[in-house]
Structure 1
Amino acid sequence: MTTRRSALFRGALLQGVLVVAVLAVVGALAGVVWQWLWTPPSGLVVNHDWVPLNAIELQQEFSATGWYVVVGVVAGLLAGVVAALLLDAAPLLTLAGVLVGAALGAWLMSVVGIALGPADPEVLAKTAEEGVHLPMALAVTGKSPYLAYPVGALLGVIMVFIGISGHRRHPQPAPQPTPAPELSME
C-alpha cells in the first residue's frame, strides 16, 4: 500500500514540476514574441544624453507595456488551458503549479524580451557621438503589468476545470434504448 502511495506521490510531484516547466517555457517564448511585436521609438544623443525625437515618440514607451500585457494574457491563457487539459490528474497540484509557473513565466517573459530588445540608450548615449539616433530600450512600466501572464494562466485553468473538465469527469449517462414492443401471435 505504501509503495502505491509513494508512486502516486512521485507522479503528482512530477506533474507539478511539468506544469511549472511548461508555464516557464511559454513565458520565455512570450518574451520573444513581445520583443518581436514592439517597435522601438527613436531618440537622439544630445550632450551625451538620450532625448526622444518628439512627444509622440515618447508616448510610444507605453506601447512596450501594452504589448507586454497583451502577449502575457494570451500566452498565459493558452499555457493555462494546456496545463489544465494535459496535466489534470491532481487538480489542486495543477493549480499550485500554474501559480508558481506563471509567476516564473512572467519574470522570464520580461527578462527574455528586454535581453532581446535594444540596449539602454541612456547608457549608450554616454559614449556615443552627438546627433546619433538610438532606439529606446524595451521595458515594462509599473508593477501591475506583471500580473498579465498569471491572470491569463489562471483564467485558462478556470475555464478548463469549470467548463470542459466538469463535463468530461461527470459524463451524462447514455440514454438506454427502449425495448421494442413484443409482437404476440394470437
Structure 2
Amino acid sequence: MQDLTQFSTYLFTLAIAALLPGPGMTGLMLKTFTQGYQRALLMLLGLITGDVLFLLSSIFLIDFIHKLSPHFSVYMMLLCSFYLLYLSYQYWNFQDDLFNENTQILDIKISFSAFQDGLLITLSNPKTISFYLALVPIIFGSASLQEKTIVLTGLTVLTLFIVGSLYIFAALKIKKILNQMLIQKLLLKGLALMMCVLAFGMLYKELHVFVL
C-alpha cells in the first residue's frame, strides 16, 4: 500500500513537473515549429535519456550526496526557483519570431543533432536536477530504491513520452495560430507569469521551512 502511494505521488509530481513549461518542453515546441515532428521526437528521446540518467543518479548516489551536504535538497530547490525566475525573465523579454529557424531561447542551438539538443538541455537544467536529486528522495524517504529501478525507469519514460508527445501535438495544432507575433508574445508572457508565480511559491516554502 505504501509503495502504491509513493509511486502515485511520484507519477503525479513528475507529470506536473513535465507539463510546466521549461527549456526542455519549450525547445521541443520550437523544434516542432522549425524542423517538424520527426526531429522533435528525436529531441524528446534525448530529453528522456537525460531524465533517466538523473533518476539513476538519485537511486544510486543520493546517500553519498546527502552525506556531503545535509541540506542538499534545500539548496537544489532554491537553485531551481532562481532558474525559473531567469526563465521567466527570458520568456517575458523574448522578441524574436518563434518560427525563425535560428531562434535561440536559452542558447538552444540548431547546430547539434536533435537527440543531442534534448540530452544537453536536460543535463544542464536545474529544474530537472532538482526534481530527481531533491524531490525523489523526499517522496520515497529513506527506503532503498535500487530494487525499484526498473519500475521507476519504465514509469518515468512512459510519463515523459506522453507529456512530450502532447507538447509536439499541441505545437502542430497551434502552429497556424502562432504565425501572428501578437499571439506569440501573449503565449510567452503567459508562460513567464506562470513560471514566476511557481518560483516565488517554491522560494517562500523552502525559505520558510529552512528558517524554522
TM over 0.5: same fold? no
Between Structure 1 and Structure 2, whose CA radius of gyration is higher? 1
Q: Output the TM-score relative to the length of structure 1.
A: 0.37
**Quick check: which one's helix share is greater?**
2
Q: Output the TM-score relative to the length of structure 2.
A: 0.33
